[in-house]
Structure 1
Amino acid sequence: MKRIWIYQADRVLSGDEGQQIAAELTTFAEQWKVHGKPLSASAELRDNLFIILKVDEDIAAASGCSVDSSVRFLKGIEEKYHVQLFDRMQFAYKSANGVAVVNRSGFEKLLANGEIDDNTLVFDNTITYDYQLDSAWVIPFKESWHKRLFA
């Protein structure tokens, strides 16, 4: 089973940034290790907004040290591209123009204005396994943890 970690940027990356980060993610995944041994890992950038790291736990699970190395790598991405990846109060949702991201107060305003409602699709970046990407990552606001936060 593939364990995943999803990191969301606080803004949509430019096309050039996305290409550069995607290449850096590939290199990182190829070199990512646990206790000196390579992990069966992959990494991708989706929608120029989401970084998804995957590890096949049937081969070897990521441990504290390997997770720490991924955090250090991502902190380097933050610094290099002037983007935040660890702010969990940034919310991504599907809008008429594609995927959008706003901070908590912006999300509250969109709710109050009716631009976001119970059926708006939001991204639940707390999922932990690859198979959940198709069924539990993008869900209606009314079914998400976001709803409890803004209730």
Structure 2
Amino acid sequence: MFVPYDALTAEAKVMIYPGSRKFFPDELPEIEQRLKDFCENLNETEISFQIKYNRFLIFIISEQTPLDLDRHNSLVELVQELEQHYNLILLDKVNVCFKQGPYAQIKEIPDFKALIKNKGVSKKTIVFDHMINTKYEYENSWEVPAGESWLSHFF
């Protein structure tokens, strides 16, 4: 069942799906409705979602009512349906997502390395860590300077 984000504790599980492109403004209402409908239909799971920077789908799931295998598979199927319907990729967490000004960008690792070489990004550039696991980490460690992330060895 859908619950407000603030109702979930710091230990709630977080799952992040970075989009290969931004969602267009005319897509957002339909995507939000599909996500809300999905969450409302998970009767025994307390779940919330956010869309950040018009690019990231973020699901927050109560540690008290975790996703069982069937519900997890349903979530992945929803994400795959969104990928097909909106012609984008959400399940690739290997690419580097980072901020340039107020915008979130995504690059393949070789392209990000080229940006480093050409001084297009620095150790201070904010990157997104999609491998975080909890709401606490999401709020405190999802956006970090590249020099403090797994990308630091590229500098």
Name the TM-score, length of structure 1 as normaliser: 0.88
Between 1:99-108 and 1:136-145, the stretch displaced more is: 99-108
Counterpart among 32, 54, 57 of residue 60 in structure 2: 54
Deviations 1:8-43 (A, max 9, x none): 0011111112222111111111112xxxx5211112
Counterpart among 19, 26, 39 of residue 16 in structure 1: 26
Q: Retained in 1: the 8 A contact 2:14–2:138? A: no
Counterpart among 73, 82, 104 of residue 68 in structure 1: 73
Separation of aligned partners in 2, 1:54 and 1:30: 13
Deviations 1:22-73 (A, max 9, x none): 11111111112xxxx5211112211111001111112x11122211110011
Separation of aligned partners in 1, 2:101 and 2:123: 15
**Unmatched 5+ stretches in structure 1:** none
Alpha-carbon offset, residue 81 of structure 1: 0.3
Do residues 4 (structure 1) and 7 (structure 2) align?
Answer: no
Alpha-carbon offset, residue 97 of structure 1: 4.6
**SS of corresponding position for 2:14:** strand
Do residues 30 (structure 1) and 35 (structure 2) align?
Answer: no
Separation of aligned partners in 1, 2:66 and 2:102: 38
Q: Retained in 1: the 8 A contact 2:45–2:61? A: yes
If each structure's strand is expressed as a fraction of its own residues, which one has the higher value? 1
**Unmatched 5+ stretches in structure 2:** 1-10
User: Aligned pair count?
Assistant: 145
Alpha-carbon offset, residue 74 of structure 1: 0.5
**SS of corresponding position for 2:20:** coil
Q: Retained in 1: the 8 A contact 2:96–2:128? A: yes
Runs of at least 4 residues off by over 4 Å: none
For residue 7 of structure 1, what is the amino acid of its counterpart? Y
Counterpart among 12, 33, 39 of residue 45 in structure 2: 39
Q: State the Cα RMSD in Å.
A: 1.5
Deviations 1:62-100 (A, max 9, x none): 122211110011000000000101112322111125222
For residue 47 of structure 1, what is the amino acid of its counterpart? Y
The percent of aligned pairs where both chains have the same amino acid is 25
Separation of aligned partners in 2, 1:64 and 1:147: 35
Name the TM-score, length of structure 2 as normaliser: 0.86
